[in-house]
C-alpha cells in the first residue's frame, strides 16, 4: 500500500508545499532522515519496512518515539497504522500531531494526539493541557477498531488557519477516507515534536505497526496584527512561523509613513517580525502591507497582506501584571550595603512595550493615607526596572538607575504588609501581600536585606516565589534580581470554603489569585439543592474571593453545596474536576456550642502561640465579632478580635487561631491542616506557666474558658516547649482531667486537625466506667492514658482514687477527698507518685465515695493494665 500511496501524495502536494515531515522507513531505520528519539531500543523497522514495537513483554509498558516537527496551522497530518491486538484501556496507541516537549509520558506535555483504540475502540482526536486529563476535540465512533488481531487504518487530520480540525480514516489502509467529524479548537498554537506513544499488556509487545508518516503545511501565512513597540519599531504577528530570512523590501507602510529599513524574525517567537523604520511613526491609524512573505515551510503569501493599527504614542498604559513589584526593602536597618531607606522596585516584563506610568497609584489597602501617584511623563522601557521611594530619597538611589520619588510613598511594615499598584482607571495591575517569613533566612529577616521575586513570569504566586536577596549588598535595586530562576505555577486553583454573608450573598474562598474575568462567569458555579445564581463578582485587589448573588434567600442552617467548574488562576491554570464546598446561612450561638479544643502557650524558639476551637453543636456558626482572651489572675481579660469579617464554623468544624499560620505550618508540617488555620492580627498574651483561655461571642458572652498550666503536661516529657494541650472528649468539660499533652508521634501538636489524644465521649452505664482497660503511656497518641468516668445518683459525694500494683503496693494517690459533681472523669497517665512511669503489669484502682451529710460510704475496685508496645 505504501508504494501506491506515496506517488499520489507527492503529486497532490508538489505544487503547494514541501512536507514538514516525511518518513516511510524505506531506508530501513528511524535514526536519521528524520531522527526519532525516545525508547529507541523498544522499536524496530521490520522486513516490511514498517515501524514496529519491540518492547519488553510486561503489562503496563509505555513506549514512545518523537521527532522534531513545528507545523501547527494550515497543516495536514497523515499516517498508516495496524494494531494487531484487541484494543482496550491498557492497549492503545496515541499518535501525537503536536507536542510541546519530547516526553509524551509527562503529565505536563501539551498538544494534540489521535488515539487508536482505548476502551471505546475508537479513532478520536484529543487535546492535552498542562494539567488535567486529555479532552476530546473530535470524539470518534465507538467500536471502529473492533478486530481482535488486525486493526488496520490510515488516518488524515487537517487543521485550517481558522482552527477547524477534521479527522478522517480509511479502515482498509488506503486513501478513501471517511470523516469522523470536525471541530474548532485553537487552544495550542505551538509545537516542537511529532511522535507515537504505545501502551500494552504483556502479550502485545510487538503488536503495533506504523508507516507513511507525513506532515504537510500547504497554507501560506496570514498577517494577524501589527503594533508599534517603539517610535521606530513595528511588530507584525503572523498565524504561524515565518521564514528566518525576512527582506525589508517585503514590507511597507501607509503612504506618507516612514520607510522600512530592516525586517527581522523574533529570536524567541518565530511568528513575529520586527520592522525597523527610518523615522518615527506618525500618530493615528496606520496600515502595514506585506508581500511575498514565506512561512517556515516554503509557502509564500503573494499578498498583499495588510493589518491596520492605531498608534497612540510610544508608551502604553499597563494592564494586569504588565507592571510588577519585584523587590521590597521593608526593614532598612541594620544597613548591609543598601541606602538606609525603604523602597520597592518595579519592573516592566514586556519585551516590546514601553509602559506609561502616568497616573498609576501605589497604595496599601485599608490605609487612610492618600496613595502615591506616578507623575505625567513617567515611563518604563521594555524589560526595565526602576526604584520607587519617598519624595525626599531619590538622591540616595541615583546610582541604581531610574528612580521615582513619590509623595505619599507608603510606610512598609517589617513583619507583613499588602501593596497594590492600580492603573489610573482604578483597575488592579499588581498585588502582593508579603511577610517576613518569605525571607526564608532568620538572619536576613532582621533587616538590611530585600525580598526578591524569583520568577517574574509567575507574578501571581506568593511566598513560594519570593526569598531574601543573595546579593552581597543586600539587594539588587534597578536590575534583575539575584535570586531569579524559573518557578512556574502549574497548580490549578482550589476552592477552600464558602460562606453565606447574607441570605442572598455567598462568598467563595480560593487558594490562589483568580483570573478575574473568567471568575465572573456565572455558568462556572452551581448550588445544590437548587439555588439560582444571578451574578458572580470577583473581589479585589487579589481576587481570591468571589461573591455570588442568589435569586432567592437562603434558609438558616440548611446545608448547601456550591460547586465550581474550571476555575482559572491568574497564571492561566485551570482546575480540572469540579471542586465543591459545603456552607449554610449561620444561626446564633449559645454558651457551650464552641469550646477550646487545643492550646499551644509555650512555643518552640521562633514559634508562635495558637488556640484551636471546635464546634460541637449541630449549627453553622459565624465567628464575626468574636474575641479570644486570656483571663488574668485579677479577673481582668486581655482580649483580641478573632475576625472583623464573616468566618463560617460548620458542625464539628475546627479552627486554629494564630498570628503566623506559615510558622505553625513550618513547625508542624505533618500535623497541620492549613485550610483550618485562621490568621489574627494579634493574639492575647498567654503566659508560659499558666493562664486562662476565654472565648467570647460577638455580644461578649463567654462561650467557653479553660485554665491551663505547664504542670498539666505529661510528666514524662523532657521539654514541654512546642507541645500543645489537647481536649480529650469534645462533649466533656473544659477541665484539667479532659486535656492531655499532644502525642509525640504527631509532632506534639495538631493545629487544624483532630486531636491526637481525643477519645470518644463517655456513654457507659453504671457508677464507674474505665476506658481503655489496657493502655500504653508512651506518648504515641494511641491509648496513652486511661479514663475513669463516674456517674452518681445525687450530688454531695466526695471521692478518693488510690492505685495499687498487683502486689498491693501504693503506686499513685490519684484523687484525695475531691468534692464531686453528679458525673465527671479522672485520668491516669501511667505515672506514679514519684513522677516515674509505672512498670508494665496489672493495677487496681480503689475508688471510695463518701457522703459527709449522712456518712454513707461506697467502695469500688477497677483493674487496669499498663502495657508497652513492642
Mean per-residue pLDDT, 4-18: 36
pLDDT of residue 302: 83
pLDDT of residue 218: 82
Pairing relation of β-strands 690-696 and 627-631? antiparallel
Q: What is the pLDDT of residues 512-547, one digit of tens each?
A: 888 888 899 999 999 998 789 999 999 988 888 999
pLDDT of residue 313: 63
300 contact partners, CB below 8 Å, separation of at least 6: 220, 292, 293, 294
Beta bridge partners of 116: 93, 123
Pairing relation of β-strands 560-564 and 768-771? unpaired
CB-based contact 463:452 (threshold 8 Å):
no
CB-based contact 316:322 (threshold 8 Å):
no
CB-based contact 75:235 (threshold 8 Å):
no
CB-based contact 775:789 (threshold 8 Å):
no
pLDDT of residue 778: 84
Assign 11 a pLDDT band (cuts: 50, 70, 90).
Answer: very low
SS3 492: coil
Q: pLDDT at residue 65 above 70?
A: yes
Please report which residue ranges of 95-225 form alpha helices under DSSP H.
none
pTM of the complete model? 0.50
Assign 19 a pLDDT band (cuts: 50, 70, 90).
Answer: low
Give the containing element (helix H, strand E) for 114. strand 111-117
The reply to whether omega before 334 is within 30° of 0 (cis) is: yes
CB 505: neighbour CB atoms within 10 A? Answer: 17
Residue corresponding to grid cell 524574525: 265
Q: Order of strands across the sheet with 677-679?
A: 677-679, 654-658, 610-615, 594-600, 725-727, 739-741
CB-based contact 273:280 (threshold 8 Å):
no
pLDDT of residue 13: 34
Strand locations in 553-701, DSSP E? 560-564, 579-583, 594-600, 610-615, 621-622, 627-631, 637-641, 648-649, 654-658, 677-679, 690-696
Mean per-residue pLDDT, 630-652: 92
- Radius of gyration (C-alpha) of the chain in whole angstroms: 36
pLDDT of residue 797: 83
Pairing relation of β-strands 385-390 and 403-406? parallel
Q: Quick one: what percent of the chain has pLDDT higher than 70?
A: 96
Q: pLDDT at residue 610 above 70?
A: yes
Q: pLDDT at residue 502 above 80?
A: yes
pLDDT of residue 151: 97
Mean per-residue pLDDT, 583-591: 94
DSSP per residue, 270-316: TTEEEEEESSPPPSEEEEEEE-SEEBTTS-EE-S-EEEEEEE--SEE
pLDDT of residue 205: 97
601 against 765, higher pLDDT: 601
Percent composition of the chain: helix, strand, coil (DSSP 3-state, to 5): 5, 40, 50
Assign 8 a pLDDT band (cuts: 50, 70, 90).
Answer: very low
d(CA 526, CA 533): 8
Mean per-residue pLDDT, 213-220: 92
Q: pLDDT at residue 409 above 50?
A: yes
pLDDT of residue 7: 36
Assign 591 a pLDDT band (cuts: 50, 70, 90).
Answer: very high
Q: What is the pLDDT of residues 792-850, one digit of tens each?
A: 877 778 889 999 998 888 999 999 988 787 778 889 999 999 888 999 999 999 999 98
Q: Order of strands across the sheet with 545-550?
A: 495-502, 505-510, 545-550, 533-539
As a whole number, the mean pLDDT across the chain is 90
Q: pLDDT at residue 55 above 80?
A: yes
pLDDT of residue 5: 40
pLDDT of residue 375: 95
Q: What is the pLDDT of residues 82-137, one digit of tens each?
A: 999 999 999 999 999 999 999 999 999 999 999 999 999 999 999 999 999 999 99
Give all domains of the chain, ordered by start, each with its CATH number: 2-217 (2.60.120.200), 223-313 (2.60.40.1220), 324-468 (2.60.40.1260), 495-583 (2.60.40.1220), 594-746 (2.60.40.1260), 768-866 (2.60.40.4070)
Closest CA to 382 of 358, 344, 356: 356
Residue corresponding to grid cell 510487538: 206
Closest CA to 528 of 580, 567, 577: 580
pLDDT of residue 16: 37
Q: What is the pLDDT of residues 67-85, one digit of tens each?
A: 999 899 899 999 999 999 9
13 contact partners, CB below 8 Å, separation of at least 6: 19, 216, 218
d(CA 125, CA 97): 10
Residue corresponding to grid cell 476552592: 495
179 against 790, higher pLDDT: 179
Q: pLDDT at residue 855 above 90?
A: no
Q: pLDDT at residue 575 above 70?
A: no
Burial class (CB in 10 A: 0-12, 13-18, 19+), 425: exposed
Give the containing element (helix H, strand E) for 125. strand 122-128
Give the containing element (helix H, strand E) for 525. strand 525-528
pLDDT of residue 52: 98
Mean per-residue pLDDT, 156-176: 95
Burial class (CB in 10 A: 0-12, 13-18, 19+), 436: buried
Longest dimension (CA), the chain: 117
Mean per-residue pLDDT, 225-234: 88
Assign 6 a pLDDT band (cuts: 50, 70, 90).
Answer: very low
CB-based contact 408:366 (threshold 8 Å):
no
φ/ψ bin of 296: left (φ > 0), alpha (ψ from -120 to 50), beta (otherwise) = alpha
Q: What is the pLDDT of residues 428-481, one digit of tens each?
A: 999 999 999 899 998 999 999 999 999 999 998 888 999 999 999 999 999 999
Amino acid at each position: 500500500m505504501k508504494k501506491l500511496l506515496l506517488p499520489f501524495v507527492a503529486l497532490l502536494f508538489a505544487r503547494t508545499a514541501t512536507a514538514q515531515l516525511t518518513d516511510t522507513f524505506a531506508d530501513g531505520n528511524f535514526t536519521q532522515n528524520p531522527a526519532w528519539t525516545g525508547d529507541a531500543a523498544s522499536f524496530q523497522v521490520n522486513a516490511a519496512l514498517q515501524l514496529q514495537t519491540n518492547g519488553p513483554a510486561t503489562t503496563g509498558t509505555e513506549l514512545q518515539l518523537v521527532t522534531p516537527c513545528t507545523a501547527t496551522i494550515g497543516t495536514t497530518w497523515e499516517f498508516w497504522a495496524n494494531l494487531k491486538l484487541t484494543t482496550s484501556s491498557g492497549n492503545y496507541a496515541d499518535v501525537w500531531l503536536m507536542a510541546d516537549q519530547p516526553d509524551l509520558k509527562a503529565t505536563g506535555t501539551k498538544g494534540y494526539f489521535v488515539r487508536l483504540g482505548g476502551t471505546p475502540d475508537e479513532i478520536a482526536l484529543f487535546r492535552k493541557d498542562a494539567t488535567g486529563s486529555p479532552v476530546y476535540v473530535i470524539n470518534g465512533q465507538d467500536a471502529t477498531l473492533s478486530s481482535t488481531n488486525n486493526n488496520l487504518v490510515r488516518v488524515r487530520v487537517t487543521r485550517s488557519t481558522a482552527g477547524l480540525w477534521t479527522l478522517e480514516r480509511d479502515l482498509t489502509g488506503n486513501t478513501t477516507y471517511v470523516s469522523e467529524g470536525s471541530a474548532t479548537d485553537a487552544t495550542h498554537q505551538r509545537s516542537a515534536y511529532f511522535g507515537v506513544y504505545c501502551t500494552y499488556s504483556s502479550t502485545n509487545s510487538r503488536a503495533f505497526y506504523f508507516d507513511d508518516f507525513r506532515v504537510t503545511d500547504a497554507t501560506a501565512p496570514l498577517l494577524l496584527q501589527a503594533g508599534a513597540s517603539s517610535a521606530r519599531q513595528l511588530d507584525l504577528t503572523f498565524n504561524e512561523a515565518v521564514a528566518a530570512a525576512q527582506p525589508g523590501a517585503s514590507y511597507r507602510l501607509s503612504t506618507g509613513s516612514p520607510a522600512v529599513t530592516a525586517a527581522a524574525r523574533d529570536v524567541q517567537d518565530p511568528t513575529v517580525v520586527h520592522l525597523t523604520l527610518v523615522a518615527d511613526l506618525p500618530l493615528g491609524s496606520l496600515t502595514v502591507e506585506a508581500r511575498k512573505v514565506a512561512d517556515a515551510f516554503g509557502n509564500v503569501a503573494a499578498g498583499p497582506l495588510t493589518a491596520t493599527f492605531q498608534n497612540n504614542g510610544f508608551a502604553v498604559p499597563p494592564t494586569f501584571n504588565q507592571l510588577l513589584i519585584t523587590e521590597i526593602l521593608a526593614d532598612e536597618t541594620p544597613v548591609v550595603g543598601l541606602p538606609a531607606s525603604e523602597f520597592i522596585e518595579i519592573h516592566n516584563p514586556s519585551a516590546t512595550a514601553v509602559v506609561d506610568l502616568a497616573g498609576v497609584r501605589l497604595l496599601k489597602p485599608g490605609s487612610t493615607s492618600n496613595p502615591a501617584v506616578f507623575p505625567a511623563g513617567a515611563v518604563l522601557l521594555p524589560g526595565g526596572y526602576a526604584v520607587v521611594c519617598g519624595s525626599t530619597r531619590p538622591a540616595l538611589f541615583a546610582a541604581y538607575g531610574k528612580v521615582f520619588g513619590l509623595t505619599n510613598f507608603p510606610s512598609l511594615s517589617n513583619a507583613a504588609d499588602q501593596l497594590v499598584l492600580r492603573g489610573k482607571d482604578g483597575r488592579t495591575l499588581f498585588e502582593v501581600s508579603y511577610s517576613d517569613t518569605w525571607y526564608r533566612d532568620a538572619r536576613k529577616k532582621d533587616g538590611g536585606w530585600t525580598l526578591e521575586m524569583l520568577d517574574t513570569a509567575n507574578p501571581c504566586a506568593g511566598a513560594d516565589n519570593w526569598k531574601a536577596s543573595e546579593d552581597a549588598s543586600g539587594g539588587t535595586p534597578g536590575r534583575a534580581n539575584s535570586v531569579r530562576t524559573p518557578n512556574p505555577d502549574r497548580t490549578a486553583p482550589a476552592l477552600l470554603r464558602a460562606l453565606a454573608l447574607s441570605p442572598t450573598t455567598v462568598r467563595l474562598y480560593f487558594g490562589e489569585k483568580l483570573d478575574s474575568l473568567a471568575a465572573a462567569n456565572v455558568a462556572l458555579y452551581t448550588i445544590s439543592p437548587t439555588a439560582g445564581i444571578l451574578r458572580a463578582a470577583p473581589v479585589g485587589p487579589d481576587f481570591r474571593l468571589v461573591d455570588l448573588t442568589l435569586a432567592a434567600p437562603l434558609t438558616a442552617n440548611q446545608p448547601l453545596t456550591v460547586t465550581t467548574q474550571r476555575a482559572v488562576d491568574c497564571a492561566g491554570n485551570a482546575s480540572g474536576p469540579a471542586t465543591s464546598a459545603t456552607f449554610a446561612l449561620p444561626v446564633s450561638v449559645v454558651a457551650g456550642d464552641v469550646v477550646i479544643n487545643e492550646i499551644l502557650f509555650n512555643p518552640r524558639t521562633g514559634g508562635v502561640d495558637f488556640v484551636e476551637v471546635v464546634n460541637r453543636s449541630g449549627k453553622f456558626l459565624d465567628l464575626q465579632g468574636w474575641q479570644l482572651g486570656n483571663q488574668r489572675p485579677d479577673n481582668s481579660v486581655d482580649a483580641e478580635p478573632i475576625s472583623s469579617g464573616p468566618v463560617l464554623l460548620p458542625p464539628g468544624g475546627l479552627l486554629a487561631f494564630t498570628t503566623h499560620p506559615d510558622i505553625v505550618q513550618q513547625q508542624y508540617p505533618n500535623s497541620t491542616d492549613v485550610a483550618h488555620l485562621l490568621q489574627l492580627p494579634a493574639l492575647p498574651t498567654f503566659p508560659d506557666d499558666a493562664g486562662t483561655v476565654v472565648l467570647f461571642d460577638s455580644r461578649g458572652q463567654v462561650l467557653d474558658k479553660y485554665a491551663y498550666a505547664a504542670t498539666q503536661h505529661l510528666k514524662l516529657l523532657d521539654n514541654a516547649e512546642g507541645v500543645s494541650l489537647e481536649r480529650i472528649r469534645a462533649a466533656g468539660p473544659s477541665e484539667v482531667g479532659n486535656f492531655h499533652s499532644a502525642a509525640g508521634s504527631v509532632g506534639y501538636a495538631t493545629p487544624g486537625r483532630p486531636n491526637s489524644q481525643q477519645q470518644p465521649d463517655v456513654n457507659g452505664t453504671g457508677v464507674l466506667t474505665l476506658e481503655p482497660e489496657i493502655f500504653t503511656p508512651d506518648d504515641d497518641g494511641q491509648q496513652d492514658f486511661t479514663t475513669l468516668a463516674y456517674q452518681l445518683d445525687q450530688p454531695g459525694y466526695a471521692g478518693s482514687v488510690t492505685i495499687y500494683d498487683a502486689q498491693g503496693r501504693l503506686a499513685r494517690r490519684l484523687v484525695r477527698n475531691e468534692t464531686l459533681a453528679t458525673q465527671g472523669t479522672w485520668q491516669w497517665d501511667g505515672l506514679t507518685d514519684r513522677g516515674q512511669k509505672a512498670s508494665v503489669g496489672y493495677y487496681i484502682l480503689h475508688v471510695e465515695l463518701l457522703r459527709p451529710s449522712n456518712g454513707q460510704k461506697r467502695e469500688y475496685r477497677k483493674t487496669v493494665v499498663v502495657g508497652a508496645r513492642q
